[in-house]
Amino acid sequence: MSDRHQVVVIGSGFGGLFGAKALKRADVDVTMIAKTTHHLFQPLLYQVATGILSQGEIAPPTREVLHKQKNATVLLGEVTDIDLEARTVTSQLLGRPTTVSYDSLIVAAGAGQSYFGNDHFAEFAPGMKSIDDALELRGRIFGSFELAELAAQRGESFEHLLTFVVVGAGPTGVELAGQIAELARRTLKRDFKHIRTEHARVILVDAAPQVLPPFGAKLGEKTKVALEKLGIDVVLGAMVTNVDERGLEWKFKDGRVERIESVTKIWAAGVSASPLGKTLSEQTGAPLDRAGRISVNPDLTLPGHPEVFVVGDMINLDHLPGVAQVAIQGAKHAAKEIERRLEGKPSAGPFKYFDKGSMATISRFRAVASIGNLKLTGFVAWLMWLVVHLFYITGFKNRVTAVMHWFVSFLGSDRAERTTTLQQIFGRSALERLEGGASSLVSPPGQYDAERAAADETRRKELEEQAAEEVRLTDAGERGVHQPA
């Protein structure tokens, strides 16, 4: 470690990556610690799940993205502890702990899926927060059509296999439902002999009274109509109360309960901030809201710890939404503040968020966009969506291949990324059944070397004994002497 100011950045998502990059010219050493080796462009996860894009296109290796940044080091590991007193961050990778000291810390660990206290739903209704999630969903979605074909051929019922339920009518839910409908009605309809994929039922359900609540009532209603035109059933004001292997149940405000038989359920409702928020809250007394987001000072610092910035999905400040721009702009603000302090300049003051608007696709050539007072729907909004997403995808080669895949899917009717494997579908459940998770599949640090040293010692002794026996036989003149049977 050099004598320079040490900045540790937790997370390689929007906050983490943009924070590290913003410190490129600063006189500091940056260590980015994240639990994945990639930066993830979450807004396009639904396209990986539905076979449009490959995972590599939306998840470039962080190491590659930062390889030209001389002052940046990337460390793989899940941060398990932050010691604000000692100013250290401890991470774990397959049972190998690492502790790093910091002078300044940017915490950008994001948020995970929330099942609102019903974590057991996750077994049958995976969320969509990571590449693993998207690939599992891809396997489940395409696999469901396969199982339906098999059931039809065997003369068994298959409606539950061709019923897809997306829980949560926010942008992710709307985009997923739209793409599953297009998959069934366009992409797959020529590929199966015993089922009519275009008859697949896609249901979008939400406890809220409208779709896309952050976009306002008017755009919400237009989106609902567009989804229904695609043949999607939109069920609003319905709270999901149970999920099992074969289906799910929801309850309306008037107490009515409905059950739908569906094998493929997707959870796109609710987020819960990284548990690191709790670690910080316990040490500072800064309150957490119901989603586990921590209250920070207006300049994004942790109360009582001006050297620690928390940004992105983890924070509860002025009702800022959990969107990429909040994380990006927050991380840039934190980086600037660190630089100003090092240059002896006064603070630039509170973090000011500039809302660049929101957009969501409904299907190919159709999107909704809300930018200030401007409300757009249809093809123009879709074109805007295309340009904005292309701009923010990290890396030139990823942009080029994404455009090629969009041509295949939007102008044609194919999907370039339909490969699925059993490991993708069942890997999560299998790992969850292991007590120590993936760590229990590899030797603890040092064990392999110790075992090999012990084996080498045993082998050395055997060879020595053999050599001694050879010497004895030679000295005794017994070599070559015929031994009677």
* Interaction of residue 320 with ligand FAD, rule CB under 6 A: no
Tell me which residue of 72, 69, 18 sits closest to 392, measured CA to CA.
18
* Interaction of residue 78 with ligand FAD, rule CB under 6 A: yes
Tokens at 104, concatenated: 């300044």
In the complex, minimum distance from the CB of residue 110 to ligand FAD, in angstroms, rounded to a whole number: 3
- Which region, judged by CB under 6 A, interacts with ligand FAD, from 37-45, 99-107, 299-307, 418-426? 37-45
Show the 3-state SS of 261-299.
ECCEEEECCCEEECCHHHHHHHHHCCCECCCCCEECCCC
Size of the chain, expressed as the number of residues it contains: 485
* Interaction of residue 36 with ligand FAD, rule CB under 6 A: yes
Residues in region 264-283 near ligand FAD by CB under 6 A: 274, 276
Tokens at 16, concatenated: 């983490």
Classify strands 264-267 and 163-167 as parallel, antiparallel or unpaired. Answer: parallel
* Residue with smaller CB distance to ligand FAD, 197 or 301: 301
Whether 73 contacts 29, CB under 8 Å = yes
* Interaction of residue 66 with ligand FAD, rule CB under 6 A: no
Residue from 20, 32, 52, 79 touching ligand FAD (CB under 6 A): that is: 79
Q: What does each C-alpha distance from 294 to 233, 281, 315, 326 come to in angstroms?
A: 37, 7, 5, 15
Number of H helices, E strands in the chain: 13, 23
* Interaction of residue 108 with ligand FAD, rule CB under 6 A: yes
* Residue with smaller CB distance to ligand FAD, 40 or 152: 40
* Residue with smaller CB distance to ligand FAD, 166 or 276: 276
In the complex, minimum distance from the CB of residue 267 to ligand FAD, in angstroms, rounded to a whole number: 11
Whether 311 contacts 19, CB under 8 Å = yes
* Interaction of residue 313 with ligand FAD, rule CB under 6 A: yes
* Interaction of residue 172 with ligand FAD, rule CB under 6 A: yes
Residue with the shortest CB distance to ligand FAD:
13
* Residue with smaller CB distance to ligand FAD, 12 or 301: 12
At a CB cut-off of 8 Å and minimum separation 6, what does 296 contact? 286, 302, 303, 309, 310, 315, 316, 317
The contact pattern for ligand FAD, residues 398-437, with x = CB under 6 A and - = no contact, is ----------------------------------------
In the complex, minimum distance from the CB of residue 279 to ligand FAD, in angstroms, rounded to a whole number: 9
In the complex, minimum distance from the CB of residue 467 to ligand FAD, in angstroms, rounded to a whole number: 53
Q: Could you write out the DSSP letters of every residue in 216-245?
A: -HHHHHHHHHHHHHTTEEEEESEEEEEE-S
Enclosing H/E stretch for 450: helix 447-475
- Which region, judged by CB under 6 A, interacts with ligand FAD, from 34-42, 415-423, 424-432, 443-451? 34-42
CA distance 84 to 303: 11
In the complex, minimum distance from the CB of residue 404 to ligand FAD, in angstroms, rounded to a whole number: 22
In the complex, minimum distance from the CB of residue 359 to ligand FAD, in angstroms, rounded to a whole number: 7
- Which region, judged by CB under 6 A, interacts with ligand FAD, from 6-14, 363-371, 431-439, 450-458? 6-14
Tokens at 71, concatenated: 């002052």
CA distance 14 to 27: 22
* Interaction of residue 16 with ligand FAD, rule CB under 6 A: yes
DSSP letter for 258, please.
E
* Residue with smaller CB distance to ligand FAD, 291 or 342: 291
CA distance 385 to 372: 15
Whether 176 contacts 268, CB under 8 Å = yes
Residue from 325, 329, 409, 424 touching ligand FAD (CB under 6 A): that is: 325
CA distance 106 to 82: 11
* Residue with smaller CB distance to ligand FAD, 310 or 425: 310
Q: What does each C-alpha distance from 26 to 20, 220, 316, 336, 338 come to in angstroms?
A: 10, 44, 28, 9, 9
In the complex, minimum distance from the CB of residue 35 to ligand FAD, in angstroms, rounded to a whole number: 4
* Residue with smaller CB distance to ligand FAD, 32 or 151: 32
> Catalytic one among 57, 136, 149, 175?
175
Whether 316 contacts 295, CB under 8 Å = yes
In the complex, minimum distance from the CB of residue 381 to ligand FAD, in angstroms, rounded to a whole number: 13
Is residue 175 part of the annotated active site? The answer reads yes
* Interaction of residue 126 with ligand FAD, rule CB under 6 A: no
Where on the chain is the footprint of ligand FAD (CB under 6 A)? 10-16, 33-36, 42-43, 45, 78-79, 108-110, 128-129, 171-172, 274, 276, 312-313, 322-325, 327
Query: What are the residue numbers of the active site?
Result: 175
